[in-house]
Amino acid sequence: MKEFAFDKEKAIALAEQLGLTVKLNSDTPGIYCNGKEVNVKEIFPELKKLEEDTCLILSEDEAVKHQSEWEYPVLIRIADKDGDLPPLDNQNQYKGILELYFYDLRITEKEWKDRELEQYPIFTDLQAYQLFSFVRQHKGADSFVIHCGAGVSRSPAIAIGVAKYLEDADLVKRIMDNNRYSPNKHVINVISEML
């Protein structure tokens, strides 16, 4: 998680300038407008950013329209093959973009060769090096936006690779424990062997 210095007095003063009622020491603490509680994250967008991890995992549809709130976002795009990636609505917001092409096959490299599936490329050592080089080049990035087709298998696996490279064990655990994701084990194995 990102750190954010929050000045309570300044926040209360701003809320009151906006005509909001601030209750701190009551049975119902919070910020209220006309008797209704207000979502603090709508008033202070910095708090919303606290919920985002270093890696934001999206589907392709989400990524195409995504508008980052960070100052230094970078993007990792994953598709089956070159030419499969649609244009982005907000491409200029990214300080760097890496495109990786491989299929979401859940087999080992040996099985892939034995089954003669070369027409369906899988994640390789070279792509792992490309990933690490990209992360190293953009180590100061505050957001790694990562997408594949559905945002369920390849992009979470790549996000785990980014988190491992950045030595963020907590982020690796959060991704692995999230039921929404089913990270591609082949990708994770290749990345783990390279680190």
**pLDDT tens, per residue, the chain with 195 residues:** 344 445 567 666 766 776 666 666 555 556 666 667 666 555 555 444 444 578 899 999 999 999 988 889 999 999 999 888 999 999 999 999 999 999 999 888 899 999 999 999 999 999 999 999 999 999 999 899 999 999 999 999 999 999 999 999 999 999 999 899 999 999 999 999 998
User: How many C-beta neighbours within 10 Å does residue 27 have?
Assistant: 5
Residue (of 71, 72, 67) closest to 91 by Cα position: 67
What domains does the chain contain, in order, with CATH numbers? 8-48 (no CATH), 52-194 (3.90.190.10)
Predicted model pTM: 0.74
